[in-house]
Amino acid sequence: MARFKNYIPHGVIPALILPFKESDLSIDEEAYREHVRFVGSTKGISTVMITGQSQEASALTFEEQKRVIAITMEEVGDRLPVVPGVYTDCGRDAGRLARMAEDEGASGLLIFPPAPFVRGSQLRPEMAIAHFKSVADVTDLPMIAFQYEMSTGQGYPLETIIRLAEEIPTFAAIKDRSNSPVLHERHIRVLQNLSRPVNVLTTHSAWLMSSLVLGCNGLLSGSGSIIADLQVALWQAVQNNDLKQARCINDRIYPLSSIFYSDPLLDMHNRMKEALVLLGRIPSAACRLPWVRVSAKEVERIRTALRQAGIRPEGAL
């Protein structure tokens, strides 16, 4: 299927969840198709994002990632751009994943920083530039950089992001998880006003409304797998400068964001899976190692948050 030409990452982008079978932890393709159709039918979303952290990409083989892309394209690829993640520590493998995604019909790519970057790549900007060029050399798909907190060692200094924009024509956006309102606002003011603008897509889902009012050009969030409709409503209210409506919507989102993004943060997507089970949208919250299921007590907290948000089950599986 042909990809969307001249794609620009913007607007509301849910990062989809990937359900696994309880019995053998293989991909539950039937449940995943239902999930893709459900989220993909949300009026107002601009794109769907796959094979990233929300889908436990580091635990997926190359062939499994290819299959996930193919299924997603079959279900929504004629209506929505599909953006897979490039999650690998190897530049050669990054190019291979990127090329495969393009062949499958992807419209863009989310580029994750390699794990070795934690050891000091902020002092070696040429490492980031080389990593992105390893993708740009094999595909002209627009790229989104995952911008982590600077404290992790995997965040890119603003000067490095500007160099990426200057040296790589397909560098199109950042997924901003700097977790600093000051730095987030600086990213928005600088990057979106370059001679060739780079869009800032917030992933500050724990403080989404505050982030959106700063003026970013989109949001990319795993919780969009559960509340894409509320995220669209909040996005539109902010775009319309309707503060009263935005606050009302944010009051519904807040109970869920408070639990999804609580410590330990690494459980966030497992919590989202449990929410989808409680809502009857997937049959199991099974996950692959190194992730483990959250406790029964935490599941009850998620159930309470769903009730507080006014989100009811669509049906029991």
Query: Percent of the chain scored above 70 by pLDDT?
Result: 98
pTM (two decimals): 0.96
**Can you read off the two tokens belonging to residue 204?**
């500050």
Q: How far apart are CA 208 and CA 216, in angstroms?
A: 11
Averaged pLDDT, 42-47: 98
By three-state DSSP, how is residue 115 classified? helix
3-state helix, strand, coil in the chain (%, to 5): 50, 10, 35
Please name the residue that has the structure tokens 């291979």: 96
For residue 120, count CB atoms less than 10 angstroms from its CB and return exposed for 0-12, middle for 13-18, buried for 19 or more: exposed
Beta bridge partners of 174: 145, 200
Q: How far apart are CA 156 and CA 47, in angstroms?
A: 25
Over the stretch 265-304, which tens digit does the pLDDT of each residue have?
A: 999 999 999 999 999 999 999 999 999 999 999 999 999 9
Quote the pLDDT of residue 315.
44
Over the stretch 78-132, which tens digit does the pLDDT of each residue have?
A: 999 999 999 999 888 999 999 999 999 999 999 999 999 999 999 999 999 999 9
Beta bridge partners of 199: 173
Residue 7's CB: how many other CB atoms inside 10 A?
Answer: 18
Output the CA–CA distances (angstroms, integers) from residue 237 to 31, 132, 231, in the order listed: 32, 35, 10
The helix (run of H) or strand (run of E) holding residue 13 is strand 11-14
CATH superfamily of the 11-226 domain: Aldolase class I (3.20.20.70)
Among candidate residues 117, 47, 50, 70, the one with its CA nearest the CA of residue 269 = 50
Over the stretch 20-42, which tens digit does the pLDDT of each residue have?
A: 999 999 999 999 999 999 999 99
Q: How far apart are CA 142 and CA 294, in angstroms?
A: 36
Phi, psi of 47 (to 5 degrees): -165, 160
